[in-house]
Amino acid sequence: EEKLKSGYKATTSGKDEKLTEALRLFLSILHTIPLVVVESRSEVDEVKELVSIAKEYVLGLKMELKRRQKKDDPVRQQELAAYFTHCNLQLPHLR
């Protein structure tokens, strides 16, 4: 939960180095999940939700970082921006 909050906070800043940090945090969450031991159905549901959230943020952050690198290709920038809008992120992070 702490990594998730840190990832959200880094994503909100919008700076390239913070977005890279957020990407690292969300990837870390995905890498840790296979090691999680759950004891109830509700915990299984929480872990599934966490996988879904982390997956969407990894995808969105990768697209946004790539879009920022493509300064010389405005068509590709627009494509990536359009794809980004389909990521299931929290509302403040879609801007």
User: pLDDT tier at 91 (50, 70, 90 boundaries)?
Assistant: confident
Which two three-digit tokens encode residue 1? 């939960």
User: What's the pLDDT tens digit per position in 21-79?
Assistant: 999 999 999 999 999 999 999 999 999 999 999 999 999 999 999 999 999 999 999 99
Question: Tokens 């599934």 label which residue?
Answer: 48
| pLDDT higher than threshold 90 for residue 90 | no
- Which residue's structure tokens are 């940090």? 21
CA-CA distance, 70 to 26, in Å (whole number)?
Answer: 23
Q: Which residues contact 2 (CB under 8 A, 6 or more apart)?
A: none
Domain parsing of the chain, residue ranges? 2-94
Is the pLDDT confidence value at 95 over 80?
no
pTM: 0.90
pLDDT band at 93 (very low <50, low <70, confident <90, very high): confident
